[in-house]
Amino acid sequence: MISWPGLIAQLTEILLAILLAPVLLGWVNQCRAWMQNKSGPGILQPYRTLRKLFAKEAVLAHNASPLFRAMPYALFACMCLAAAIVPILGTDLPFSPAADAIALVGIFALARVFISLAAMDIGTAFGSLGARREMMVGFLAEPALLMVLFNASLISHSTSLTTIVEHLAHVEFVIYPSLAFAGIAFTMVSLAENARIPVDNPSTHLELTMIHEAMVLEYSGRHLALIEWSAALKLFVYSCIGIALFFPFGIAEGGDAAGLLLALPALAAKLAIGGFVMALIEMISAKMRIFRAPEYLGTAFLLAVLAMLIHLLLGS
């Protein structure tokens, strides 16, 4: 069942995801800077930040428990696993049977619980504030993401991500109205999950409005580097999920080498456009009050549920 080319393709994909993820983050930030009429730090800036952080000494609070120190590694491992099961270039993934769409949501939930617990570990006011807000975003974003994935599962009669992509990309062209709803829900969820405006602001320096940044305030050095890298990886994986569900054309079927080579520029183009759109959305919207966030995510969740109903209604 497991083939060598498949395994090689799989490992290449994971490495590609890990190495390229910071570029995507840099690209989004660069686009934002351009739109704000700034010159921007360049798309390679995340790498410089990572190198700086890795080289620095880690400073730990006196009462940090082993859980606190283990979290960045666990977070990074979770995101790598997520990158391993999402079809990025091709659909011949030996790891993919290990986890399907539901387990993918489970991985994100696991990462979220880890980071929230670590945020509460030091016992500072901001840490627990961040953990509480993160869980508040999570308890609606997680089922919303699951419902979005279920929409694709209903169409392809499978929860396996590779089968979903194969079905959507390579079976005859059909318009699925339910995916329009699911697409909007997914966009809303991915903005919230990746700590972007309108739910969170990645570049904020005002403690009281932070979510993600408040949780990782106590981290420094290599630990912070791993967390930042994981955040970039999460953005990358989310973008790839979006591509796989809504624009799967170009992802290679099976493991043929030519298809994989063609898939790479297609992926790069799609990610560039996706990152630009994300920056655009961030530019034209304002950050919400924190208690508007459940309303926003509740809307996304219900839209995803509605999409499943539409699928049943129209019977397509």
Partner 1 sequence: MPGALQLILGVILAWLALGLAGVFYPRNLYLVSRVLFPAGALGALALAAAALSALGGVTQSVVLPLGLPELPFHLRLDALSAFFLLLLGTVTAGISVFAAGYFRQGEGTAPGLQCLYYHVFIASMALVLLADDAYAFMVFWETMALSSYFLVTSDHAKAEIRRAGFLYILIAHIGAIGILLCFGLLHGTGDYTFDTMRAVQLAPLWATIAFALALFGFGAKAGMLPLHVWLPEAHPAAPSPVSALMSAVMLKTAIYGLLRVLFDLLHTQVWWWGVVILVLGLATALYGVVFSAVQTDMKRLLAYSSIENIGFILIGVGLTVTFQAYGMRALAALALTATLYHCINHAYFKSLLFLATGSVLHATHERALGKLGGLIHRMPWVAWLALIGTLAIAGLPPLNGFVSEWLLLQAFLFTPNLPQPYLNMLIPVAAAAVALAAALAGYVMVKFYGVVFLGQPREPSLATARDAGIWERIGLVWLAGGCLGLGLAPVWVIGVIDSVSGQLLGKTLGASATGWMFLTPISPDRASYAPLLFLLVILGVWALTWLAVRRFYHGQMHRAPPWDCGFEAQTARMQDTAEGFGQPIRQVFEPFFRMQRELPTPLDAKPRYRVSVEDHLWYWLYLPIVKFTQTISRVVTLLQRGRISVYLTYSFVTLLVLLLFVR
Partner 2 sequence: MHLPLTSQIINLLAALLLLLSFSMLTQRRILSLINLFALQGLTLTLAILVVAWSTGQHHLYYSAALTFVLKVLVLPGVLHRLIRKLNVKWDVETLINIPTTMLVGIALVILAFNVALPISQLAGTIAKSTLGIALACVLLAFLTMITRSKAVPQVIGFLAMENGLVFAATSATYGMPMVVEFGIALDVMVGMVILGVFFFQIRERFESLDIRHLEKMKDE
Q: Answer yes or no whether residue 174 interacts with partner 2 by CB under 8 A.
A: yes
Distant-in-sequence contacts of 95-103, Cβ < 8 A, 24+ apart = 95/10, 96/160, 96/161, 96/162, 97/160, 100/159, 100/160, 100/161, 101/146, 101/149, 101/150, 101/152, 101/153, 101/159, 101/160, 101/161, 101/164, 102/146, 102/149, 102/159
In the window 107-146, what residues touch partner 2 (CB under 8 A)? Answer: none
Cα–chain center distance at 168: 21
Least distance in angstroms from the C-beta of 292 to partner 2? 9
Q: Answer yes or no whether residue 112 interacts with partner 1 by CB under 8 A.
A: yes
Q: Which of partner 1, partner 2, none binds 316 (CB below 5-8 Å, type-dependent)?
A: partner 2
Q: Answer yes or no whether residue 170 interacts with partner 2 by CB under 8 A.
A: no
Least distance in angstroms from the C-beta of 9 to partner 1? 16
Query: Which of these, 213, 204, 189, lies nearest to 281 by C-alpha position?
Result: 189
Write each residue from 8 to 27 as x if it is in contact with partner 1 (CB under 8 A), else as -, in one continuous string.
--------------------
Q: Which of partner 1, partner 2, none binds 6 (CB below 5-8 Å, type-dependent)?
A: none
In the window 182-211, what residues touch partner 1 (CB under 8 A)? Answer: 207
Q: Answer yes or no whether residue 157 interacts with partner 1 by CB under 8 A.
A: yes
Q: Answer yes or no whether residue 147 interacts with partner 1 by CB under 8 A.
A: yes
User: In a 10 Å sphere around its CB, with 0-12 CB exposed, 13-18 middle and 19+ buried, how is residue 211 labelled?
Assistant: buried
Q: Which stretch binds partner 1 (CB under 8 A): 150-158, 187-195, 255-263, 276-284?
A: 150-158
Interface positions with partner 2 (CB under 8 A): 172, 174-175, 177-178, 180-181, 184, 294-295, 298-299, 302-303, 305-306, 309-310, 313-316
